[in-house]
Structure 1
Amino acid sequence: MLPLAHRLTGLQSNVFADMDQAKALARRAGQDMIDLSLGSSDLPVDPLITQAIGAALGDPMTHGYLLFHGTQDFRHAAGAWYRQKFGIAVDPETEILPLIGSQEGTAHLPLAIMNPGDYALLLDPGYPSHAGGVHLAGGQIHTLPLLAENHFLPDLSSIPNAILHQAKLLVLSYPHNPTTAVAPLEFFHTAIEFCQGHNLVLAHDFPYVDMDFTSSPPPSILQADPDKSVSIEFFSLSKSYNMGGFRVGFAIGNSTLIKALRQVKAVVDFNQYLGIFRGATVALTQGQHIPQSTVQTFAHRREAFVQTLNQFGWSVPMPPATMYVWAKLPEPWQSDSIGFCQQLVQATGVAASPGAGFGAAGEGYVRFALVREPEILAQAAQRVMAFLGR
C-alpha cells in the first residue's frame, strides 16, 4: 500500500460525498429524484454576463495565463461594488484578491496564518471547507456550537483560555449555511473586539451577501472593522449571480492577510480565464438587477416549500436568508439525521443534507436546498411528509 499523508485523516468525512452515494443507489432503484442536497443554483446566468464571456473567446489576448496584474479591472470593479454597497473604501491593489470561488480563500487562509498545532475557532454546524483548510495546515479545531436558543450565534465567552492562547483564527459566516441565521452588526462589533483583544484573525465567509429576505440587509464584517485591523471577508458570485460553475469570487480585507493569501495562491494556481473575469466585472458594474431577481425567486420557493411542510404538520420556521431550509427533525430521527436522509431518498427520491454532516451540533436537523421550482418543491414537501407519516 502506498503511503499517504497523515493530514488526509481529517478529510475523510464529507456530507456531499456521503449523500452522493445514497442518491446513486436511489437512481439505480428507479426513483424519480428531486435533489435538494446541494446548494448549487439551478437558475441560468444572465445573458448580460454570458455575452461578455462569449465575446472574450474571440480575443487571443485572453487565451494565456492570467497573473495578478491582469485582474486589475475586476479588482477595481469589486472595490467599487463594495464601496457602494457598504460605504467603506478599499484599495484594489492591496486589499482585494480574486479567488476561484470563496471556498478557495477559506480553505487556503489557514495555510497562510496557522502553524501546526495552532487552533482555529469554527462554527458548528459549519461549512466543510472551513475545517478542511485547518486540517491541511496541521491545525487543531475548537468548535463553537450554534444553538437555536442563542439565535445560532456562537458564545465567544465559552472558549477556554488554554485554547485562546493557542488560537490564531476565528471563522464566521452570516447569513449562515446551514442554519440560515443572520448576525446583527452588534454581534460583529463584539467579535471584532474579541479578536483584537486576543490577537486573532477574523475571517468572514460571505457568499450569501445578497440572499436575505428581511428588510435589513446583512452587514459586512468590515463595517465593524473599517480599519481592517484583523479582518478578511470572502465573497462569491455563485449565489447572487448564479455563477457557481464559473468559480469566481474575491477577498477583501487587511492588506497583510491579502498579501499572505496571495503568496499561497501563487504556488497553488493561476487565476481563471480572463473572459470569466470580464463577465464578473459586467455583473458587478451593470448587473444590479440580477441579485434582486434571484432573491425574489428564492423567496417564492421558500414559501412554497415551508408552507407545504407546515400545512401537512411539520412546523418549520421560515428562513430569513440563504437558499436553504434548516429543519429540526421530528422523533424518532433527532439522533440520526444521516439515516433520515438516506432512507428518505431511497423511499421518495427527495435528497437532502443531514445536519450531522455539517458538525456535531447539526445532529437532529436536516438541510433542504431550494434549487427547484416552487411546484416541484411543494411536491417534494408532500413526499417528505408522506415518508414521515409512514
Structure 2
Amino acid sequence: MSMFPLADRLANLEGNVFAGMDRVKAVARQSGQDIIDLSLGSADIAVADEILAEIQLALWDPQSHGYQLFQSTRPFREAAAQWYQRRFGLEMDPETEVLALIGSQEGTAHFPLALLNPGDYALVLDPGYPSHAGGVHLAGGRIYPMPLRPENDFLPMLSDVPATILAQAKLLILSYPHNPTTAIAPLSFFQEAVQFCQRHGLVLVHDFPYVDLVFDAPPAPSIFQADRDRSCSIEFFSLSKSYNMGGFRLGFAIGRAQLIQALAQIKSVIDFNQYAGILRGGIIALNSPHHQIQATIDTFRDRRDRFIEVLQDQGWPVTTPPATMYIWAPLPDPWHHNSLGFCQELLLHTGVAASPGSGFGPTGEGFVRFALVRDRQTLTLAAERIMDFLKN
C-alpha cells in the first residue's frame, strides 16, 4: 500500500520526551517490571471534595451539556480575574483580558499561531517545556534557544541574543518557577525581560503553572508585577498543579487585551471550550481557602526532602530544588552525555521511570528529571533503586 506524503512540520515534533518514555514503559511492563513512574508531572493527590461535588452536581444539569461559547465562560473568567486581584493586587478585566483554556499547554501551543508568520523567530528557554517549542514549530516559526545554565541560576542571558535574530523575532517565552530546572526568577529579572521586549518589539509569554509550588523562597512573581500596564505580556495559568486537576484540563490566559483576542480567534476554529461542569469546579478551586493549597505544598516539600535525603546519603550530591514538583539532577559519569540512555536503562533494570534532560532541549543533556508524584514510601523505594543502579 502506498504511503501518503505528510506535512513537513511533523519532522519537528518527533522528539516528544513523554511519548518516547511511554514506549519504553510498555516494554518494561511486558518484561514484568513493577513501574514507579516519575517521568510525568501528573500529581497523585486527590482533588478537593467540594470541587468534585460541584462537577458531579453539574452532570445532572441539562444546561451544562451543550457547547460552551465565549460568553458562557464569563463566571470562570470573573473568578480568574478575582484570583489575580487577591494574589497580586492586579485588576484584570474578565471580558477583555481573560480567556478560558483547555489547560495552559493548549494555550501556549496555540498562541504562536496568532502571532508568528512563517520564518519568524521565537526566543525559547533551553531546556524548556516541549509545548513551547512545539507551538512555534506548528506556526512555521523558527526557534532561537536561550541556554539555561547553573552558573546563571538557570536564567537566560537576554543580552546574548544576536541583533540579527532580534530583527526577525516576535516572541519571548518564559516560565518561572521553571520546569524542568526548578529555578525561580526574581521580579528584577522579569522587569529586565519586560524592558527587553519593549525595546525590541517582542511579545512576552509567561507560562505560570507552578506559581504555588514554591518551598524555600519568596512567592513567585507574576509577569504583570513587572508589566502593570500590560504593554507586551500574556500569562498562562493551569489548575493542574495547585489544585491537582491535571486530568480535567483547565486553565486560563490573562493579559493584554489585543493578545487575548488574538488567541480567542485561534480557539474559535479549534474548540468550544471546556465542559461547563469542569468550569464550575474551577470556580470553586480558584475561590478555595489557601490552606488547601498549602497542604499540597507541604506534601511536595516532604517528598522532595525525603527523595533528596536518600540520594545524598548514598552518594549523589543533588541540589535541593526551591520550587515545582521535580528534581533536576546532573548525571554522573558515564551517563553525563547520555540522559536518554540512562533513563531507558534505569527503567528496564529497576522499573523507575524518569525524563531525560535531552528531551527538554540540547542544554538539558547531562541532566535527568524526577517528578515527585508518588507517596513518600514509594519515593524512598525509587531513590534506593536508583542508587543501587548507579552503584552497580
Please say whether Structure 1 and Structure 2 have the same fold, judged by a TM-score greater than 0.5: yes
Tell me, yes or no, if structure 1 residue 359 matches structure 2 residue 332: no
Structure 1: how far apart are the matches of 2:55 and 2:244? 14
Indicate the residue corresponding to 2:372 in structure 1. Answer: 370
Aligned residues of 1:178 and 1:326 also touching (Cα < 8 A)? yes
Using the TM superposition, give the Cα deviation of residue 18 of structure 1 relative to its aligned residue in structure 2, in angstroms: 1.0
- The one-letter code matched in structure 1 to 2:159 is S
Partner of 2:179: 177
Is the 1:202–1:230 contact (alpha carbons within 8 Å) kept by the matching residues of 2? yes
Kindly indicate whether residue 111 of structure 2 is the aligned counterpart of residue 104 of structure 1.
no
Amino acid at match of 1:38: L
| 8 Å contact kept, 2:51–2:284 | yes
Question: Where do 5+ consecutive residues of structure 2 fail to align?
Answer: none
What is the distance in 2 between the residues matched to 1:135 and 1:20? 23
In structure 2, what is the Cα distance between the partners aligned to 1:65 and 1:26? Answer: 41
Q: Residue type matched to 1:197 in 2?
A: R
Alpha-carbon shift at residue 383 of structure 1 (Å): 0.4
Residue 252 of structure 2 corresponds to residue 250 of structure 1: yes
SS at match of 1:238: helix
Q: Which residue of 1 is the match for residue 227 of structure 2?
A: 225
Query: CA separation in 2, counterparts of 1:37 and 1:321?
Result: 17
User: 1:29, 1:287 → 2: CA distance?
Assistant: 45
Counterpart among 150, 153, 170 of residue 151 in structure 1: 153
Q: What residue number does 1:161 align with?
A: 163
Q: Does 1:210 align with 2:212?
A: yes
Structure 1 contact 326–365 (Cα < 8 Å) conserved: yes
Amino acid at match of 1:143: P
Distance 1:150 1:215 in 2: 17
CA deviation map 1:137-159 (0-9, x unaligned) = 00000000000000000000111
What is the letter of the counterpart of residue 241 of structure 1?
Answer: Y
Match of 1:284 among 286, 301, 307: 286
Deviates more, 1:240-249 or 1:281-290: 281-290
TM-score (norm 1): 0.99
> Structure 2: how far apart are the matches of 1:196 and 1:58?
49
| 1:288 Cα deviation from its structure 2 partner | 2.8
The CA distance in 1 between the partners of 2:98 and 2:284, in whole Å, is 17
Count of equivalent residues: 390
Other-structure match for 2:381: 379
1:259 matched to 2:247? The reply is: no
CA drift at 1:101: 0.4
The letter of the residue matching 2:375 is: E
For residue 16 of structure 1, what is the aligned residue in structure 2?
Answer: 18
Percent sequence identity is: 64
* Helix, strand or coil at the partner of 2:269: helix
1:215, CA displacement in angstroms?
Answer: 4.1
The AA in structure 1 aligned to 2:237 is F
Q: Which letter maps to 2:364?
A: G
1:304 matched residue in structure 2: 306
Q: In the alignment, residue 94 of structure 1 is paired with which amino acid?
A: T
The amino acid across from 2:301 in the alignment is A
Cα distance in 1 for partners of 2:304, 2:206 equals 25
SS of the residue aligned with 1:325? strand
Instruction: Give the CA deviation at 1:268.
Output: 0.5
After superposition, what is the alpha-carbon deviation per residue over 1:188-235, rounded to whole angstroms, capped at 9, x for unaligned? 000000000000000000000101002401100000000000000000
- What SS is found at the alignment partner of 1:293? helix
Give the letter aligned to residue 206 of structure 1: F
How far does residue 287 in structure 1 lie from its aligned partner after superposition? 4.0
* Partners of 1:240 and 1:290 within 8 A in 2: no
Corresponding position of 1:40: 42
The aligned amino acid for 1:174 is: Y
CA distance in 2, matches of 1:308, 1:180: 19
Distance (whole Å) between structure 2 residues aligned to residue 62 and residue 20 of structure 1? 34
Structure 1: gaps of 5 or more residues: none
1:277, distance to aligned residue in structure 2 (A): 0.6
CA contact (8 A) 2:217 2:322 kept: no
User: Could you list the per-position Cα deviations for residues 309-338 of structure 1 after superposition, in whole angstroms to 9, with x for gaps in the alignment?
Assistant: 001000001110000000000011100000
Give the structure-2-normalised TM-score: 0.99
Letter paired with 1:232? I
Q: After superposition, what is the alpha-carbon deviation per residue over 1:227-256, rounded to whole angstroms, capped at 9, x for unaligned?
A: 000000000000000000100000010000
Distance 1:114 1:32 in 2: 45
Residue 90 of structure 1 is matched in structure 2 by 92
CA positional deviation for 1:7: 1.3
CA distance in 2, matches of 1:265, 1:214: 38
Offset from partner CA, 1:276-308 (integer Å, 9 cap, x none)? 010000111134332111101000000110010
1:56 maps to 2:58: yes
Cα distance between partner residues in 1 of 2:75 and 2:289: 16
**Conserved in 2, the CA contact under 8 Å of 1:304 and 1:375?**
no
Alpha-carbon displacement from aligned partner over 1:163-191 (angstroms, at most 9, x marks no partner): 00000000000000000000000000000
Contact residue 48 and residue 287 of structure 1 kept, 8 A: no
Distance 1:75 1:226 in 2: 19
Deviation at 1:69, TM superposition (A): 0.5
2:319 aligns with: 317
1:131 aligns with 2:130: no
Contact preservation (8 Å) 2:237, 2:253:
yes
SS in 1 for 2:244: coil
When residues 68 and 257 of structure 1 are mapped into structure 2, their CA distance, relative to the original with a 3 A threshold, is same
Q: Partner amino acid for 2:288?
A: Q
Q: What is the one-letter code of the residue matched to 1:66?
A: Q
